Chain A
Amino acid sequence: MYPDSMRESIRRMEATREARMKQTFPMRTAEEKKELLRRFHPDYIEESMRKLAVGPNQGERTPNELADVLEAWPVFDETSIDLSQVEQDVDVLIIGGGGAGAAAALTAQAAGARVLLVTKLRTGDANTMMAQGGIQAADKPNDSPARHYLDVLGGGHFKNIPSLARALVLDAPGVIAWLEELGVMFDKQKDGTMITIHGGGTSRKRMHACRDYTGAEIMRVLRDELVNRNVSRVEFAAAVELLTDGRGTVTGAVFVNLETGQKWIARAKTVILATGGCGRLHIQGFPCTNHYGATADGLVLAYRAGAKLIFMDTIQYHPTGVAYPEQIVGLLITEKVRGLGAQLVNDQGNRFIYELESRDITASAIIRECREGRGVRTPTGVFGVWLDSPLIEMLKGEGAVKASLPAMYHQFARYGIFMDREPVLTYPTQHYQNGGILIDEDGLSGVGNLYAAGEVSGGIHGRNRLMGNSLLDILVFGRRAGKAAAEAAKATKAVPELSLKHVAAFKRELAAAKVPRSRKSPMILPDYRQPAMRGRYSFLGPDPECVLPAD
């Protein structure tokens, strides 16, 4: 329910609806876009970034919060680990149980490898589960992989690695077919034709969806398949370090059982990191859309093992995060709402940007409106702009909101806001890590036998990812990495040696750079307790440097 102060603003917005419905809003030119980004996008705030002092990306800029986990000490003393006690011995070790990890595990096992999938929370407690909007693939007659490629590069500001973008668009139809065979229920017409819509930055309607549970539908099917195919899995275990042979090749990982605190080792011929993104670092203090475990652990582990990261100075802020009610601030309002025709409207009742510009542009425009005094103020002093969702009912017919956006509808209805009749208030929220571990077309990182797939990887999307290309990328590269890692494992005959020498070497760099010893990573889980209780990770055991004194 909206307070009176906001109702007034809603009335201003409703007054312009008729006129707005007929209005076509021009796209910004390349010049205008640059200017908008430079003045309003969070990535361009100099003070929020610093140059890395250690590691493979030394000297490159990255947000302070990311630098704080990359330039940090390990959570345990590497000499305390008994490397002769190998608990699991496999061909391919997959770390992370989201969409990328599941796709990699299924593919690697199908290729004949002995696989183990280890994940921090439950399988599917992951960003993949939360994706609502859809997945892109150029499979309609008026579309083509080349067109998809051009869109991907335009979205990425032409910085994408061509071979990766090429793999993405060429594998896309195959991925959709794979999901269809597994029984993912895409929105379809009676004859089987996919119902596809636009997303930000698409020149053709190529967004495939499963109502607004696209990621959940894909994830629950992949998880079911992991069980059916009897893929070995360990849950509630976090990778806290990679193992190497001491000569730059990865040979396994150290895990901690989150419930008992016990550390254990998995030895593997090849390792696939599929640990997802970094939303829970709350870059620049933004709220985020990500799941609880999105803490950049994979980046930290790979960085210590010598993997190069790419585009670590760009974070994606989703233009439409919830700005009201307070309880769900930061959660995502899917782009599909705009795809279906809802318009962005400021406090004066005016549109200010074409709704389907790429995300960084749209987010910058919303920030501009709020900063320049055209935002809607909530009772707690947060600003936002309206997303005129009732328009969808007018454009697509009565009941369209509930039918196409049940998850969204529910989310707001719980707080007495009904999207089919009232607009919702939005402001950008931290959403996606555009960059990550630099990979090649097989998902191989710069480090021997270390693969990466999904949001933890970087290069595919350049400096900005378009909606629907991430669900696609996790499956394209999850499958590619799974296949390549299985083959590489087959080619590896010797028993991999286990060492933590790379950690010792990294610690020397940290000491030389005078990184404070209290700064530890990986974060594993964010700590939202009151300050006096923070730092007590029962599952990591007592740590004199990071545990606060008992009161």
Chain B
Amino acid sequence: MTNQPAKPKDQNQNSFDSSSLVTIYVMGKAYQVPKNLTIMKAMEYAGYQFIRGCGCRGGFCGACGTVYRTKDSYKIKVGLACQTVIENDMYLTQIPFFPANKATYDVAKLEPTTQTLVRHYPEIMRCISCNSCTKICPQEIDVMGYVNAAIRGDCERVADLSFDCIMCGLCASRCPAEIVQYNVALLARRIVGAKIRPRAPHLRDRLRELETGECLPAVEELTRLGEQELSERYYDKKVRDIEPE
């Protein structure tokens, strides 16, 4: 076998070269770790077992927002711990939780007017266009841009700009106007999905067919077939033709 999959206990070992170590500081404390690891794997190497600050390990859940500085730099940087590779002399702290305001609403009763977002989140009007949110977003989203669109009441623009948001909360942690940008964006997307875009017409047709039971006999028939007969139909190009690309 050419690929020798690593044993679980070697998940970390297999991906580093322990001959070249770098120094990282986890909440101020120094550790020597192999270079090229992600922040998450480096902290585990150093002996931390995550409870908070680790979810999907793949850049989707926003649990692992990390703020860091490198030596002799005034700049604060951010990254997702599961995606960012460590550098020498990185001072790390994770922000796995940041208290956030969330409006509650019944989506079915929402009106998609230009006022809906402001009514639920009046604080967006306080945005001073400092752009701190955009600068910090690890997903490289134009956060200020969508907040401005929210102020204008342009839900579709908010939805489009914010679609890649993983709700890590880093933008809210930096906002001088105390806006929780990602919750505003979530409301906008739900309005677009539920209220602005037309419902799929073919879906209604199929639901009607299901209600009248029209689709049922064909399925019932298949449920009664044995493996052999099913296999014959499955491989029969006339019964199961493949829709062309």
A residues near B (Cβ < 8 Å) are 29-30, 65, 121-122, 124-126, 129-130, 138-142, 144-147, 149-151, 153-154, 158-159, 162-163, 165-166, 169-170, 173-174, 176-177, 180-186, 188, 190-194, 198, 203-205, 211, 213, 215-217, 220-221, 224-225, 227-228, 230, 236, 258-259, 281-282, 284-287, 289, 291-293, 326-329, 331-332, 341, 367, 370-371, 373, 375, 380, 382-383, 406-407, 410-411, 414-415, 427, 525-531, 533-534, 536-537, 539
CB distance from A332 to the nearest CB of B (A): 7
CB distance from A34 to the nearest CB of B (A): 11
Name which of B19-27, B43-51, B69-77 contacts chain A. Answer: B43-51
**A12 CA / B7 CA spacing, docked (Å):** 33
Contact of B159 among A185, A286, A526 (CB under 8 A): A185
**A367 CA / B2 CA spacing, docked (Å):** 9
B3's nearest neighbour on chain A, judged by CB, is A383
CB distance from B80 to the nearest CB of A (A): 9
CB-CB under 8 A for A177 and B207, given A154-B234, A216-B166, A228-B104: yes
A190's nearest neighbour on chain B, judged by CB, is B198
Instruction: Say whether B193 contacts A139, CB under 8 Å.
Output: no
Contact of A327 among B9, B38, B45 (CB under 8 A): B38
Chain A residues, CB < 8 A from B222: 146, 149-150, 153, 162
Instruction: Say whether B7 contacts A282, CB under 8 Å.
Output: yes
Instruction: Say whether A525 contacts B189, CB under 8 Å.
Output: no
Encode B223-237 as 1/0 by CB contact (under 8 A) with A: 110010011011100
B128 at the interface (CB under 8 A from A): no
Instruction: Say whether B195 contacts A183, CB under 8 Å.
Output: yes
Q: Which one of A173, A282, A367 has the greatest number of beta carbons of chain B within 10 Å?
A: A173
Contact of B37 among A130, A203, A327 (CB under 8 A): A327
Q: Which one of A126, A147, A227 has the greatest number of beta carbons of chain B within 10 Å?
A: A147
B79's nearest neighbour on chain A, judged by CB, is A414
**A289 CA / B58 CA spacing, docked (Å):** 8
Chain A residues, CB < 8 A from B193: 180, 182-186, 221
B63 at the interface (CB under 8 A from A): yes
Instruction: Say whether A185 contacts B189, CB under 8 Å.
Output: yes
Instruction: Say whether B206 contacts A173, CB under 8 Å.
Output: yes
**A192 CA / B104 CA spacing, docked (Å):** 27
Instruction: Say whether B230 contacts A150, CB under 8 Å.
Output: yes
Chain B residues, CB < 8 A from A371: 1-3
**A191 CA / B197 CA spacing, docked (Å):** 8
Chain A residues, CB < 8 A from B191: 183
CB distance from B191 to the nearest CB of A (A): 7
Encode B204-240 as 1/0 by CB contact (under 8 A) with A: 1111001000011011111110010011011100011
**A548 CA / B57 CA spacing, docked (Å):** 27
Encode B146-180 as 1/0 by CB contact (under 8 A) with A: 00000000000001000110110000000000000
A165's nearest neighbour on chain B, judged by CB, is B223
B133 at the interface (CB under 8 A from A): no
Contact of B106 among A203, A228, A539 (CB under 8 A): A228
B93 at the interface (CB under 8 A from A): no
CB distance from B98 to the nearest CB of A (A): 12
**A220 CA / B85 CA spacing, docked (Å):** 27
**A292 CA / B40 CA spacing, docked (Å):** 12
CB distance from B229 to the nearest CB of A (A): 10
CB-CB under 8 A for A139 and B7, given A216-B166, A525-B49: no
Q: Which one of B9, B102, B166, B193 has the greatest number of beta carbons of chain A within 10 Å?
A: B193
B61 at the interface (CB under 8 A from A): yes
A sample of 22 inter-chain contacts (CB < 8 A) reads: A122-B61, A126-B61, A144-B215, A146-B219, A146-B221, A153-B230, A153-B234, A174-B210, A177-B203, A177-B207, A183-B191, A183-B195, A185-B193, A203-B243, A221-B189, A331-B58, A370-B3, A406-B163, A406-B164, A427-B3, A528-B49, A530-B45
B145 at the interface (CB under 8 A from A): no
Chain A residues, CB < 8 A from B99: none
Instruction: Say whether A528 contacts B104, CB under 8 Å.
Output: no
- For the complex with contacts A221-B186, A539-B51, 5 further pairs of A-B residues with Cβ separation under 8 Å are A151-B240, A170-B216, A174-B207, A182-B107, A285-B10
B28 at the interface (CB under 8 A from A): no
B96's nearest neighbour on chain A, judged by CB, is A122
Contact of A150 among B12, B167, B210, B233 (CB under 8 A): B233
CB-CB under 8 A for A145 and B199, given A183-B191, A286-B5: no
Contact of B215 among A145, A162, A282, A427 (CB under 8 A): A145
CB-CB under 8 A for A213 and B200, given A174-B207, A529-B48: no
CB distance from A168 to the nearest CB of B (A): 10
CB distance from B122 to the nearest CB of A (A): 18
CB distance from B11 to the nearest CB of A (A): 6
Instruction: Say whether B107 contacts A163, CB under 8 Å.
Output: no
Contact of B60 among A185, A193, A216, A329 (CB under 8 A): A216
Contact of A292 among B6, B56, B166, B206 (CB under 8 A): B56
A539's nearest neighbour on chain B, judged by CB, is B51
B223's nearest neighbour on chain A, judged by CB, is A162
Instruction: Say whether B105 contacts A228, CB under 8 Å.
Output: yes
Instruction: Say whether A125 contacts B55, CB under 8 Å.
Output: yes
B54 at the interface (CB under 8 A from A): yes
**A447 CA / B50 CA spacing, docked (Å):** 34
CB-CB under 8 A for A236 and B63, given A138-B206, A370-B2: no
B131 at the interface (CB under 8 A from A): no
Encode B89-108 as 1/0 by CB contact (under 8 A) with A: 00000000000001011111
CB distance from A183 to the nearest CB of B (A): 3
**A258 CA / B220 CA spacing, docked (Å):** 47
**A230 CA / B6 CA spacing, docked (Å):** 44
Chain A residues, CB < 8 A from B164: 211, 213, 406-407, 410
Instruction: Say whether B243 contacts A204, CB under 8 Å.
Output: yes
Nearest 10 Cβ contacts at the A-B interface: A192-B198, A183-B190, A125-B55, A183-B194, A146-B218, A282-B8, A183-B193, A285-B5, A162-B223, A185-B193
A176's nearest neighbour on chain B, judged by CB, is B203
Contact of B61 among A129, A140, A198, A534 (CB under 8 A): A129
Chain B residues, CB < 8 A from A225: 107
B207's nearest neighbour on chain A, judged by CB, is A173
CB distance from A302 to the nearest CB of B (A): 23
**A427 CA / B191 CA spacing, docked (Å):** 40
CB-CB under 8 A for A198 and B189, given A327-B15, A530-B12: no
Instruction: Say whether B8 contacts A145, CB under 8 Å.
Output: no
Contact of B186 among A65, A186, A220, A406 (CB under 8 A): A220
Contact of B201 among A191, A205, A227 (CB under 8 A): A191
B11's nearest neighbour on chain A, judged by CB, is A528
**A446 CA / B204 CA spacing, docked (Å):** 36
CB distance from A2 to the nearest CB of B (A): 16
Instruction: Say whether A326 contacts B36, CB under 8 Å.
Output: yes
B17's nearest neighbour on chain A, judged by CB, is A380
A326's nearest neighbour on chain B, judged by CB, is B15
Instruction: Say whether B108 contacts A121, CB under 8 Å.
Output: no
CB distance from B73 to the nearest CB of A (A): 20
